[in-house]
Structure 1
Amino acid sequence: MKLIGVDIGGTFTDLILADVAQQQTWIHKVPTTVDDPSIAMIEGIETLCQMAQADYGDIEHVLHGTTIATNTLLTHDGARTGMVTTKGYRDIVHIGRHQRPQHYSIMQDIPWQARPLVKRRDRKVVSERLDPKGETLTPLNEAEAKTAILELKEAGVESIAICFLNSYFDARHEERVANLAQELYPEAFITTSASIFPQFREFERFTTACINAFVGPKVKRYINNLSQSLKKQSVRGELHIMRSNGGVATADVAGEQPVTLLLSGLAAGVLGGAAAGTQSNRDRLITFDMGGTSTDIGIVTERGFAEATARDTWIAGYPVMVPMIDVHTIGAGGGSIAYVDTGGAFRVGPRSAGAEPGPVCYDKGGTEVTVTDANVVLNRLDPEYFLGGEMTIYPEQAFAAVQALADRMGLDLHETAAGILTIVNNNMANAIRSRTIQKGQDPRKFALVAQGGAGPLHAAEVALSLGIPEVIVPRYPGITSAMGLLTTDLKHDLIQNEFTLSTEPNLSKLNADLQSLEEQVKAQLRADGFSETDMTLQRFADCRYVGQGYELRAQVPGGILDETVLQSVWQQFHDLHTAEYGHAFPENPVELVTLRVTGTGPMPKLSDFPAPAKGDLQDAWLKTAVTYFRVNGQLEKYSTQFFDRDRLPIGAHIEGPAVIFQKDSTILLPPHSRTTVEPNGNLVIRVTDDSPIDKALEMATAQSPA
């Protein structure tokens, strides 16, 4: 069985072909074709098949992580969207919750007001009203609904979002208007808020539905075009798209619910990092995925990957109410531009040179200094081995550009380059602090998984600044997101609002609703081709103390719920509250707000990679050259060994400073670090006892009271 994983990033498109039966893999990276990302994908698949001497017809599954939905929202380049909503609630998506993104700023951007997904003239209202229990207060006025749809059609909207006030409890009015829209305007892309995620909080639910409608036509065209292109290449394997929840969906489902793809590639990166950690027997991980444009950070613990909560799930400034892996992204990558701002401060990012024109050393028209150029000047990247020697870089151009920046600031060439790396490393370290220390987690108890084309080049220095003792470098760090696509399953999430109290739970309703959700999830998985014996179901409950505004998610055991089972759910909530906020109130009643069932259908997976080479470390040695490192505040020259990772034998030990090249990335070992090649092919970089970090930890331990 042969699988292909493809992750399309802002700079490169990463591909991996795996023969699961033979446990063989082939990898490839190509520059992303910005105007039509599918071009690079198809070309990359063609090259991979040639490398593996495989026919297109041998490929059984193509798994894809895409940024098309995200970029459409970020650039505000979606479809003209119309909205049909309950009379009196036309401006919910404008008013929001009266929350200001920046509480004290009088000059701030409020995205849903400055860049509305649906203009006010395209928001139509109809008479209808259900109460929060589904009882009809005002019947749906179908004549008004038909008029609204025809007005939107005449106005030229391409997509329609149908959002009624209490449809999260009963969606019959939304579904009826959707049927009318399909009859009167079949060309339109139709979204109902209840079909995306039937959750209370109308502002977030309405906005999520509008996002789905806004990005839907472009995403659906992209997926359809990609499917057709694969068929033209005689690729018979079914296309699956990674979703934000860490599972994949069929192309048809993804095309109807594109809002679930907003963190598509980022979610795959967390899964790939988690898989690498599992191979090295580590279950507390910080995934550190540094690409050409951005750095993505995820947290994995013994309980699995962290999932974003409703209170802080925002993309491009808009609230998004769908299940998502918690991934924090900052504008720091190999293409991040270094500059002096108007106040005279030296800054790096978030603006990026991207794939085109790219860093100066790419010689594609870029004129502004980037992080990649700084690494070239410090001799941490080598033109002979960049991208396995398949891509030419021009060091002399990087030197000239960095020298020009240094002259403007009155600094030395190498000090300027080192300063660029210090700034970008600190930016990334601060981002990790925000996901660990600020959430009560000690980063020193985690391992850092270095991913992306630039991650292994910066990870050790970032880990040093945070006291993280280990860095794990996967076998193919530059394509970890593509690899993560081959480690996941197909997944569906369904929810049902409950609002029942721990003091008087409605057991009969809870059990009936859980059974209904499970049957719906099973039906979706059966439609995807899975038998019931292959399905895995998980149940969750979103809980809060009475009077709180946000929930925490507890796991619900299988089987029939009774008082004893529910008591374990309440206790789990108290424990989660303590972990999240530092305290709990066990004597207070708990409100179970929402039930959720997650159904999983198993996909073929890549479990192992080819074993590393056998032989002697000397076989992997390439050369010795001078590189620059800042140690104890001083920038100094170091004699540095350079190695070829593909020839590193199992068990090999390398002392830093060293640089290790491979096709998809470059790995940096700063002074006072060492690495070992594990039998699974991972490199584990460890800070030595001579390092300032270990000494600081040793002193802190010695001084602490017994």
Structure 2
Amino acid sequence: NLVLGYLDADAFLAGRMKLSRTAAEAAIDRLATDLGLSRLETAHGVFRVANANMLRAIRVVSVERGLDPRLFALLAFGGAGPVHATALANELDMPQVIIPANPGNFSALGLLVADLSRDAVQTQLTPLAAEARDSIQSAYDRLAAQLVAEFVAEGYDATGLTLHRSADARYVGQAYEVNVTVPDGQLSAEDLAAPADSFHAAHAERYGHNAPGERVELVNFRLTVSVPTPKPTFRRDDGAGDGAHPRADTRRRGDGATDGERGSQETPGAIGVRDAWFEATGDPMPTPVYDRVQFSAGVTLVGPAIVEEPGSTTVLQPGQSAVVDGIGNLIIQIRAGAS
């Protein structure tokens, strides 16, 4: 990323960590010599190999679950995610990339606001049938007693806990399972019809076929017990600046609209220009660099462009466009007409 021009050696982590372009180029040059390629061709090859690993992970949570990634936006976060996201989305023909405000801290924020939870699992081959209702109920009761006791021992009120049941199910004789939700509370024979129906439907969606007349068995009983935690409310930007740190949406104009609702805002000037290499052009090209902290709601960009902030860098490929929404997200359109 440094050799390709996506990162600034002097601006990494807002300048608190210096990168060595010389060392990066030397490492790429050694590989380039072995491959008989140029420095930039080799750097881009490394970039594509890294992308291939990420593409595989995206397909696991989309295509392998019967979902078409072309129908979804790609949410990119972390320090490096926004560097690679637009190339990944382009490869998968995904229409849009969303870069949240402060993407480098996005996972940490999730840890802070996620519900506290504990999971337990018990393996017990059990028919998914009315005659096994008592056995199924007992398995979940044992798991619940264990997890609730752990929370109570830590000082939590048992009445404030939420429970979620699921089970790994399969047709008798299979060696792989599909996870399905199981109703909470005291189970009736009728309650067991729901996970059975869900299993048949999920099996058809994932594998292209099912066999409703075949016997189904439960392999693993799973229970998650959670304590809800307070969730933050993200204040909307008023369009007056610093869209990466949204503020309260309180400033109203005479027409009743906030700045952030009045359409596009003037894009702040670039803080610099540097050569960056893009596959679409095949050569380094002068690319404007922007400071995301200066963005407000409604700001628009057209690629190629590089957007820097203290914890991350976002790369817009040539022909892509972006707009800042009311809570500081950078919404990138991968292809014309995408929405």
TM-score by length of 2: 0.82
Q: CA deviation at 1:523?
A: 1.8
Secondary structure of residue in 1 paired with 2:197: helix
Which residue of 2 is the match for residue 621 of structure 1?
A: 270
5+ unaligned residues in a row in structure 1: which ranges? 1-374, 695-706
Which residue of 2 is the match for residue 481 of structure 1?
A: 107
Could you tell me which amino acid in structure 2 is paired with residue 624 of structure 1? V
Which residue of 2 is the match for residue 597 of structure 1?
A: 223
Q: CA deviation at 1:592?
A: 3.0
Question: Separation in 2 of the partners of 1:638 and 1:522?
Answer: 60
Identity %: 37
Question: Separation in 1 of the partners of 2:19 and 2:277?
Answer: 19
Pick closer, same or farther for the CA change 1:403–1:610 going to 2, 3 Å. farther
1:663 aligns with 2:310: yes
Superposition map of 1:55-94 within 5 A: none
Q: CA deviation at 1:565?
A: 1.2
Which residue of 1 is the match for residue 285 of structure 2?
A: 638
Question: Separation in 1 of the partners of 2:308 and 2:288?
Answer: 11
Question: Separation in 2 of the partners of 1:411 and 1:442?
Answer: 35
Superposition map of 1:402-481 within 5 A: 402-481=28-107
Q: CA deviation at 1:660?
A: 0.3
Secondary structure of residue in 1 paired with 2:274: strand
Question: Separation in 1 of the partners of 2:47 and 2:164?
Answer: 44
Pick closer, same or farther for the CA change 1:526–1:636 going to 2, 3 Å. same
Q: CA deviation at 1:404?
A: 5.0
Question: Separation in 2 of the partners of 1:516 and 1:593?
Answer: 16
1:689 aligns with 2:339: no
CA contact (8 A) 2:237 2:296 kept: no
Q: CA deviation at 1:478?
A: 2.1
Q: CA deviation at 1:502?
A: 4.0
CA contact (8 A) 2:77 2:103 kept: yes
Q: CA deviation at 1:670?
A: 0.6
Which residue of 2 is the match for residue 272 of structure 1?
A: none
1:577 aligns with 2:226: no
Q: CA deviation at 1:554?
A: 1.7
Pick closer, same or farther for the CA change 1:419–1:396 going to 2, 3 Å. same
Q: CA deviation at 1:516?
A: 3.9
CA contact (8 A) 1:612 1:680 kept: no
1:544 aligns with 2:170: yes
5+ unaligned residues in a row in structure 2: which ranges? 242-264
Could you tell me which amino acid in structure 1 is paired with residue 301 of structure 2? I
Question: Separation in 2 of the partners of 1:497 and 1:430?
Answer: 30
Question: Separation in 1 of the partners of 2:300 and 2:283?
Answer: 24
Pick closer, same or farther for the CA change 1:644–1:576 going to 2, 3 Å. same
Query: How many residues in Structure 1 have an aligned counterpart in Structure 2?
Result: 315
Q: CA deviation at 1:412?
A: 3.1
CA contact (8 A) 1:490 1:600 kept: yes
Question: Separation in 1 of the partners of 2:125 and 2:277?
Answer: 60
Pick closer, same or farther for the CA change 1:521–1:587 going to 2, 3 Å. same
1:526 aligns with 2:152: yes
Superposition map of 1:4-403 within 5 A: 375-403=1-29
Question: What does the per-residue CA deviation read over 1:626-669, in whole Å, with 9 as the maximum and x for residues that have no partner?
Answer: 322111xx512333221101111112111100000011111100
Q: CA deviation at 1:515?
A: 3.5
Pick closer, same or farther for the CA change 1:586–1:660 going to 2, 3 Å. same
Q: CA deviation at 1:435?
A: 4.5
Could you tell me which amino acid in structure 2 is paired with residue 684 of structure 1? I
Secondary structure of residue in 2 paired with 1:376: coil
RMSD (Å) for aligned C-alpha atoms: 2.7
CA contact (8 A) 1:623 1:642 kept: yes
Secondary structure of residue in 2 paired with 1:548: coil
Secondary structure of residue in 1 paired with 2:131: coil
Question: Separation in 1 of the partners of 2:40 and 2:73?
Answer: 30
Pick closer, same or farther for the CA change 1:432–1:496 going to 2, 3 Å. closer
Question: Separation in 2 of the partners of 1:518 and 1:437?
Answer: 34
Pick closer, same or farther for the CA change 1:626–1:495 going to 2, 3 Å. closer
CA contact (8 A) 2:267 2:299 kept: no
Which residue of 2 is the match for residue 177 of structure 1?
A: none
Question: Separation in 1 of the partners of 2:8 and 2:129?
Answer: 66
Secondary structure of residue in 2 paired with 1:422: helix
Which residue of 1 is the match for residue 251 of structure 2?
A: none
Question: What does the per-residue CA deviation read over 1:469-489, in whole Å, with 9 as the maximum and x for residues that have no partner?
Answer: 111112122233222211212
Question: Separation in 2 of the partners of 1:465 and 1:684?
Answer: 18
Which residue of 2 is the match for residue 677 of structure 1?
A: 324
Could you tell me which amino acid in structure 2 is paired with residue 587 of structure 1? G
CA contact (8 A) 2:239 2:298 kept: no
